[in-house]
């Protein structure tokens, strides 16, 4: 367990520059909204292009990865309004109209709502730090505001992550089959990966972390997920089903790590918060997606390092497979850099705050991730 006795860079920044930190959070949320718009446009374009090229299944799956997160976002909004608010029946009905009428753009509406709420909170709290702290607490207690971060998490893991992997899979298949790879395919992959990092860094798990931690989580998490997806895709080149070998292995290691931490009773490990009950929607989403988040994005703790080492071993083996050597070398390079940065962040004391922010330790000393 990380010691909490030393003054952290995060707390020092928040204490001395609360106004700058608030402005930075607003900027990040605006950039997250813009990245979502770009990701949505490129994903729709990819689906249309696949359908025009008579690749029905590729187009259908591309559209599916767009529609599912939209419906999930609408469900989150409806659940929060009905179950977690104490509004009158009439007011609840009026608030449900957007979810029923504008399902295709519900993620955009909620992300825009998050940006507007942050700007209004900043303008209201600009008078003093004490008022800021009190009002921020009130915002977190508001079930609608608290649930907005869930939209980011669902968009990241249900749209950006599978879409990036799927479009990358198509590019690698085109590469092995000698088909032309068009520029919009690279743009689609890049926009999905960038949006994935933005969505995760602005979800409820990391919304309040410092600027330095958020930047570190964004950059090196982006590097990790890109490397791990490329390893999966390069294994699909000899056989289209082999992508599941590295993916399943890394997910299995993540699940085993989760079980080990839950079962551990030592004084060193941070106890992992066990999912109990179904009253807190954030607990439900976090509990179900936690192993996937760690397997895909964690490059900051020992659990992530186990995944990074496994990913590097798969990349080394790929160099001896019947795949284009340029693709194998590129994949190996990214896996090596990602693993090296994971080692540095895990063991260098300077990154202690990043590790703490990734674990998201609550007031009871329990972590939400591992």
* Cβ atoms of residues 231 and 223 within 8 Å: no
> Rounded to whole angstroms, how far apart are CA atoms 59 and 48?
7
Q: Which residue, 257, 151, 251, is CA-closest to 199?
A: 151
First CA to last CA distance, the chain? 11
* Cβ atoms of residues 74 and 154 within 8 Å: no
Number of other residues whose CB lies within 10 A of the CB of residue 236: 22
Q: What is the pLDDT of residue 168?
A: 95
> Rounded to whole angstroms, how far apart are CA atoms 152 and 112?
12
Rounded to whole angstroms, what are the CA distances from 338 to 95, 157, 226, 292, 347? 44, 20, 9, 18, 14
3-class SS at 16?
Answer: helix
Locus of tokens 């284009």: 324
> Rounded to whole angstroms, how far apart are CA atoms 15 and 45?
45
Q: What is the pLDDT of residue 53?
A: 87
Give the model confidence (pLDDT) of 156-213 as tens digits: 888 899 999 999 999 999 998 888 888 999 999 999 999 999 888 877 778 778 888 8
Q: Which residue, 228, 229, 232, is CA-closest to 242?
A: 232
Q: Write the DSSP string, 155-194.
A: HIIIIIHHHHHHHHHHHHHHHHHT----HHHHHHHHHHHH
Residues in the chain predicted with pLDDT less than 70, given as ranges, are 1-22, 84, 103, 122-149, 265-271, 273-284, 286, 362-363
Q: What is the pLDDT of residue 178?
A: 84
* Cβ atoms of residues 33 and 113 within 8 Å: no
Output 21-26 pairs: Cβ under 8 A, ≥24 positions apart.
21/210, 21/211, 22/118, 22/121, 22/122, 22/125, 22/132, 23/122, 24/211, 25/118, 25/207, 26/115, 26/118, 26/119, 26/122
Q: What is the pLDDT of residue 158?
A: 86
Q: What is the pLDDT of residue 368?
A: 75
């Amino acid at each position: 367990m990380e010691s909490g006795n030393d003054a952290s860079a995060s707390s020092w920044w928040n204490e001395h520059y609360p106004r700058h930190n608030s402005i930075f959070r607003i900027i990040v949320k605006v950039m997250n909204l813009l990245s979502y718009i770009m990701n949505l446009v490129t994903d729709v374009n990819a689906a249309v292009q696949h359908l025009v090229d008579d690749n029905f299944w590729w187009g259908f799956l591309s559209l599916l990865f767009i529609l599912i997160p939209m419906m999930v976002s609408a469900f989150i909004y409806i659940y929060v309004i009905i179950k977690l608010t104490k509004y009158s029946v009439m007011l609840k009905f009026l608030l449900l109209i957007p979810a029923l009428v504008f399902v295709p753009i519900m993620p955009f509406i909620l992300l825009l709502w998050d940006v507007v709420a942050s700007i209004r909170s900043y303008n209201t709290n600009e008078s003093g730090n004490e008022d800021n702290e009190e009002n921020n607490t009130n915002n977190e207690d508001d079930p609608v505001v608290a649930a907005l971060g869930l939209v980011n998490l669902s968009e990241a893991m249900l749209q950006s992550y599978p879409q990036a992997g799927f479009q990358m899979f198509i590019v690698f298949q085109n590469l092995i089959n000698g088909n032309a790879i068009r520029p919009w395919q690279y743009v689609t992959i890049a926009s999905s990966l960038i949006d994935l990092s933005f969505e995760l860094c602005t979800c409820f798990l990391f919304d309040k972390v410092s600027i330095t931690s958020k930047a570190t989580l964004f950059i090196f998490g982006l590097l990790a997920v890109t490397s791990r997806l490329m390893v999966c895709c390069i294994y699909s080149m000899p056989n289209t089903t082999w992508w599941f070998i590295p993916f399943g292995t890394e997910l299995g290691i993540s699940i085993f790590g989760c079980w080990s931490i839950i079962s551990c009773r030592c004084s060193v490990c941070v106890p992992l918060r066990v999912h109990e009950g179904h009253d807190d929607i954030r607990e439900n989403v976090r509990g179900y997606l936690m192993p996937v988040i760690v397997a895909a994005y964690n490059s900051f703790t020992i659990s992530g390092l186990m995944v990074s080492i496994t990913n590097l071993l798969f990349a080394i083996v790929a160099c001896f497979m019947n795949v284009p050597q340029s693709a194998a070398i590129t994949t190996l390079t990214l896996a090596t850099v990602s693993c090296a940065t994971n080692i540095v962040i895990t063991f260098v004391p300077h990154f202690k705050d990043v590790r703490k922010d990734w674990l998201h330790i609550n007031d009871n000393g329990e972590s939400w991730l591992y």
